Amino acid sequence: MSSSTVISTTDNITLVTLAGFPANVDSISHIFEAISRYNINIDMISMAPTHGAFTGLSFTISDSDLIDILAFTTQLKRETNVNVIVSSVNHKISVYDPAMKNTPGIAAQVFGAITGTNADIRLITTSEVEISLLITEADFDTVLAALQKAMA
């Protein structure tokens, strides 16, 4: 990692996974429009590869929106066959480095740094300059310390 690497954290994150979700843009749009009507801000979004007409769609929200998302997912379960999994009290660790865009091996360094932690990584999202990991409460301190040590 370079001298411009920054590690940031966000606490109290809820992960929502919709398993068996229709793998089409209309359904994805409908879900996020419905969630926006609850005034819930979505952060990380990840979609699994499709299996036929279905996929897994995961996203994160603040734990402060947990009651509202549960109201939404309860209604969703009544209306569809989508399996809803909700997990709260997670943490996001983001590794940001503008050099990531043109430097092969940064992901290898990040994951190599946390290899020995046996962490329960719930979600991974990336951009050209950032890798974000959603980590359970139990593994947060260990993973953060390993990343900080690796970049020192």
Examine the domain organization and report whether 103 and 44 are in the same domain. Answer: no
Rounded Cα–Cα distance for residues 108 and 140 (Å): 19
Residue 75 sits in the same domain as residue 110: no
Q: What is the CATH number of the domain that holds 115?
A: 3.30.70.260
pLDDT for the residue numbered 67: 97
- Count of domains for the chain: 2
For residue 106, give its domain range.
6-11+90-151
> Got the DSSP string for 60-93?
EEEGGGHHHHHHHHHHHHHHS--EEEEEEEEEEE
pTM: 0.92
Residues 41-75: tens digit of each pLDDT: 999 999 999 888 999 999 999 999 999 999 999 99
Mean pLDDT over each residue of the chain, to the nearest integer: 94
Amino acid 4: pLDDT: 86
Q: At what angle do helices 25-36 and 66-79 cross, to 10 degrees?
A: 140
